[in-house]
Amino acid sequence: MSDKLVVIGDGMVGRRFLEAVVQRDPSWDVTVLCEEPRPAYDRVRLSAFFDGVSAEELSLASDLDGVSVRLGEAATEVDRDAKVVRSATGEYPYDKLVFATGSYAFVPPMEGADLDGVFVYRTIEDLEAIKAHAAGRRHGVVIGGGLLGLEAANALSLLGLETQIVEFAPWLMARQLDEAGGGVLKQHIEKLGIKVDCGTGGSRIEAVDGRLRMETNREGVSFDTDLIVFAAGVRPRDQLARDCGIEVGERGGITTDLACRTSDPDVYAIGEVAAMEGVCYGLVAPGYSMAEVVADRLAGGEATFPGADMSTKLKLLGVDVAQFGAFDGPLATTYLDPANGTYAKLILSDDATTLLGGMLVGNAEPYPLLRASVGGKVPGTLADLLGGGEVEGALPDGAQVCSCNAVTKGEIMGAIHEGCTDVPALKSCTKAGTSCGSCVPMLKQLLAEGGVEVSKSVCEHFTQSRAELFDIVKVTGITTFSELIARHGTGAGCDLCKPTVASILASLSNGHILDGEQATLQDTNDHFLANMQRNGTYSVVPRIPGGEITPDKLIVIGQVAKDFDLYTKITGGQRIDMFGARVEDLPKIWRRLVDAGFESGHAYGKALRTVKSCVGTDWCRYGVQDSVKMAIDLELRYRGLRSPHKLKSAVSGCARECAEARGKDFGIIATEDGWNLYVGGNGGFTPRHADLLLSDVDSETLVRTIDRFLMFYISTADRLQRTSKWVEGLEGGLDYLRGVIVDDRLGICEDLDAMMAKHVEHYADEWKGVIDDPEKLQRFVSFVNAPETPDPSIEFEEVRGQKFPAGTTARSHTQPVLLGTPERK
């Protein structure tokens, strides 16, 4: 007769344990008591539920021989003397018992926490209740600024609610980030229109006029809202163990040794409920290790808990955040780029030779390499790591690539050599990448290192690369995302493929980007044809080709800025940027600008931004060509051209290079005999000088070559790939590019010319298309149910005679940078 094993709980860790037990010793007769009405699901990806991923897609359920899972049946009592677990409907004897009860959402003791409209963020049922309550409402508050809180804020944002995060700690993600990293993360989140109040705690909730009001620990500060979500952390679900006399930790959790045994040798605890030598681990990776340990013990082994790698990498509200290894140490090197919202910190040994840990915000690309290098040599400088520069050496075979499942580089390379030639196969063979997914980029790198050509598929919904999708759309004439995914993809799409396809459709002149289904594919900025700013307002950037503008148009811009009380600033691209526009004012502003002859400057889109110029031969005594006219002609020719990434250009009238053309995607410098054309340059985080493609060409040849360069780039580049990276990645480099677009070695130049001609012929100003269309105008409101009501939460302060977002940023401008700095009048 088989020994009986009872497992209480069927979460991610419990499911991993069941799989391991069946694999190691299938003789066990296993009963699982699952309180939830559904089997195990991926709680790490829970927020994907609000992005269209169904509960079935999140499910981890599988049929396991000898395992009976009793859904919706909670364990109510453990009788250790009788060795029986009881529920409301039955008794289940056991020889061995495993607690996998996980944790519950912590709700601070607060009056009113049980009111209608107050939720926790823990299960699919919680999410379904939040979604139902949010329908038709406009505002939500999340209490908690840690990992769970930011996930909950993302969920409310996806539901279309104005969202506010309230965090008691002085900065976000205080357990994973230091103050600087938390500050950069806050910057990113506020740019998305989500408000963040740190150093603030709730004290009381009450119902007021059909809404909720939360009083805080700050005198006179309260929040009126429609919905409150507690996401302030979790606590181990150890009450059953307490009730039956099993030892629990001082701060909660079932006390276990390194074999996961409790104070009762026939009872084990795994996952978040286990206090391993007094420590509860809140991540899935240590829980998986515990599951393997107990499965080995039940099969007669002697496995012990190997320790926990608490490294974590997430994309929170579109922002990459990662922490690995030690949080602090003898030495630290940091990198802060406020303009690009990037922060990095490496913790080093006292001799600066050994990497102990670190954190990344805004750019987590080097995370897999850094995490795998902890305890060894620092693989490079932060500038190299973040900018894609050269790093030192390759990872050793013993380096752990997947901490969730404790998979080393050596194991992955072994699987590659045995025939696993893509990421799905590696996941199946090694389990690497099957949990949090943060190591998937490293799996792709290791496939390449193993001599395997890595797939360039856009995402899990399309096996094709962006270039292949571009060709499909171009050849078939498909004009909608739904038709493309139905014929050439799977599922419903995601935040990777939707904007990618939207860009392709726009590049091929398939109508206005806010027409019909197209509108649903756009990101926040394209959705409102404006750049969202940190306080939820928008910027307005009319096109000023070549930087040339008449006094009358200058007056119009000044009058518009004055009438709508907009902050104004001249940009580095020879335009005037107006900040602080409320969403409902955007059509009114653009109506006046369009009537004055202005067009959209596409500052919000992956498209041509500007063609900068010097004054050329008209005024400058050194100019040798008319750089202003060339810049204007080029900007008017390529305006509205949608591409994989933003495009910038410049035209200099002589070799003195006042327009800085060699730092642009395509730059032109005048010579005595014509024009020099440079391509593949950019400024930004990793500046790159452009490469000389042609010398001393006439204007017709210049423009024709730029046409082909841009269309070849748009047709073949990967998603979000700048021209600099695209040029560098071309096999054969600049010579190959020259052969394709100048010498026509592939025979495609006629096609590229026709594509550009189509763009020029069909160009239409996007903002004019909005203000002439009553249906499109309906989206430009703060509140759907009160379209005339401005957002009362948007506040400003006056600094230097102009308005700034209210708060510490505005106040910091009043402090002099240098002692004795004169006050600006």
Residue 632 near residue 545, CB atoms below 8 Å:
yes
Residues 6+ apart with CB under 8 A from 401: 368, 372, 395, 407, 408, 409, 412, 432, 439, 442, 443, 446
Same domain, 680 and 757: yes
Residue 95 lies in a domain: yes
pLDDT at 454 over 80: no
Query: Do both 180 and 99 map to the same domain?
Result: no
Among 580, 605, 630, where does a domain finish?
Answer: 605
What's the mean pLDDT when you consider all of the chain? Answer: 86
404 annotated as ligand-binding: no
What average pLDDT does range 768-792 have in this prediction? 74
Q: Does residue 292 lie within any of the structural domains?
A: yes
Residue 320 lies inside a defined structural domain of this protein: no
Q: Is residue 363 part of a domain?
A: no
Q: Over the stretch 497-547, which tens digit does the pLDDT of each residue have?
A: 888 888 888 888 767 877 777 766 676 677 778 877 766 788 899 999 988
> Considering the domain boundaries, does residue 437 fall inside one?
no
CATH number at residue 221: 3.50.50.60
Do 642 and 756 sit in the same domain of this protein?
yes
- Angstrom distance (rounded) from CA 658 to CA 614: 6
Looking at the structure, tell me whether residues 153 and 75 fall in a common domain: no
**Scanning the structure block, which residue is given the tokens 């009160």?**
786
- With 80 as the cut, is the pLDDT of residue 453 above it? no
Answer yes or no: is pLDDT of 362 > 50: yes
Q: Give per-residue pLDDT as tens, 158-203.
A: 888 999 999 999 999 888 888 888 888 998 888 888 899 999 988 8
Say how many C-beta atoms besides its own lie within 10 A of residue 484's C-beta: 22
Q: What is the pLDDT of residues 479-501, one digit of tens each?
A: 888 889 899 988 877 767 888 88
The mean per-residue pLDDT over the stretch 294-323 comes to: 82
Judged against a pLDDT cut of 50, whether residue 782 lies above it is answered with yes
Last residue of a domain, one of 232, 262, 288: 232
CB 504 within 8 A of CB 470: yes
In this prediction, residue 65 carries a pLDDT of 86
Averaged pLDDT for residues 539-556: 92
Domains contained in the chain, number:
6
Confidence band, pLDDT 50/70/90 cuts, at residue 816: low
SS3 for 142-155 is EECCCHHHHHHHHH
**Above 80 in pLDDT, residue 270?**
yes
Rounded to an integer, the average pLDDT of 293-302 is: 93
CA 177 vs. chain centroid, Å, equals 17
719 and 617 assigned to the same domain: yes
Lowest mean pLDDT among 52-56, 542-546, 745-749: 52-56
Average pLDDT score over residue span 560-581: 91
Assess whether 187 and 282 both reside in one domain.
no
Interatomic CA distance for residues 362 and 374, integer angstroms: 21
pLDDT of residue 334: 85
Give the C-alpha separation, 605 to 616, whole Å: 29
Mean pLDDT of 735-745: 93
**Is the model's pLDDT at 675 over the cut of 60?**
yes
pLDDT given at position 649: 95
What pLDDT score does 685 carry?
Answer: 53
Read out DSSP for 510-546?
-S-TTSTTHHHH--HHHHHTSEE-TTS-EEE-B--GG
| Structure tokens that stand for 366 in this block | 């080097």
Which pLDDT does position 695 carry in this prediction?
A: 94
Q: What is the pLDDT of residues 636-671, one digit of tens each?
A: 999 999 999 999 999 999 988 999 999 999 999 999
Query: Do 221 and 267 have their domain in common?
Result: no
Question: For 723-750, what is the mean pLDDT?
Answer: 90
Same domain? For 632 and 710 the reply is yes
Range of the domain at 206: 118-232
How do residues 417-426 score in pLDDT, each as one tens digit? Answer: 888 887 778 8
**Residues 555, 621: contact at Cβ < 8 Å?**
no
Please indicate, yes or no, whether residues 26 and 122 belong to a single structural domain of this protein.
Answer: no
Instruction: Tell me whether residue 335 is in a domain.
Output: no
Q: Is the dihedral of CA 507, 511, 512, 513 positive or negative?
A: negative
Mean pLDDT, rounded, for 2-26: 92
- 753 and 645: one domain? yes
Residue 406 pLDDT more than 50? yes
Residue 702's SS3 state is: helix
Residue 612: beta bridge partners?
650
pLDDT of residue 94: 96
What is the CATH classification number for the domain harbouring 557?
3.90.480.10
- Residue 684 confidence (pLDDT) above 80: no
Compute the average pLDDT of residues 695-711: 96
* Residue 187 sits in the same domain as residue 286: no
pLDDT greater than 70 at residue 265:
yes
Q: What is the pLDDT of residue 632?
A: 94
Distance CA 788, CA 778 (A): 11
Contact predicate 427/439, CB 8 Å: no
Is the model more confident about 234 or about 515? 234
Q: Provide the sign of the torsion angle of the four alpha carbons 543, 546, 550, 555, taken in this order.
A: positive
Q: What is the pLDDT of residue 813?
A: 54
Q: Confirm whether 362 is domain-assigned.
A: no
Position 389 scores a pLDDT of: 44
Q: What integer is the mean pLDDT of 676-692?
A: 84
Cα dihedral angle (775, 781, 787, 791), rounded to 10 degrees?
Answer: 180
Instruction: Indicate the residue among 232, 247, 262 that finishes a domain.
Output: 232
Distance CA(183)–CA(652), nearest Å, equals 39
620 marked as binding residue: yes
Question: Do 159 and 62 fall into the same domain?
Answer: no
Q: Is pLDDT at 461 greater than 80 in this prediction?
A: yes
The 10s digit of each residue's pLDDT in 116-138 is 999 999 989 999 999 999 988 99
On whether 439 is known to bind a ligand per the annotation, the reply is no
Give the model's confidence band at 552: pLDDT under 50 very low, under 70 low, under 90 confident, else very high: very high
Residue 241 lies inside a defined structural domain of this protein: yes
**What DSSP string runs through 648-686?**
EEEEESSTT-TT-GGGSSEEEEEETTEEEEEES-B-SSS
Beta-bridge partners for 407: 402
Q: How confident is the model at residue 391 (pLDDT cuts 50, 70, 90)?
A: very low
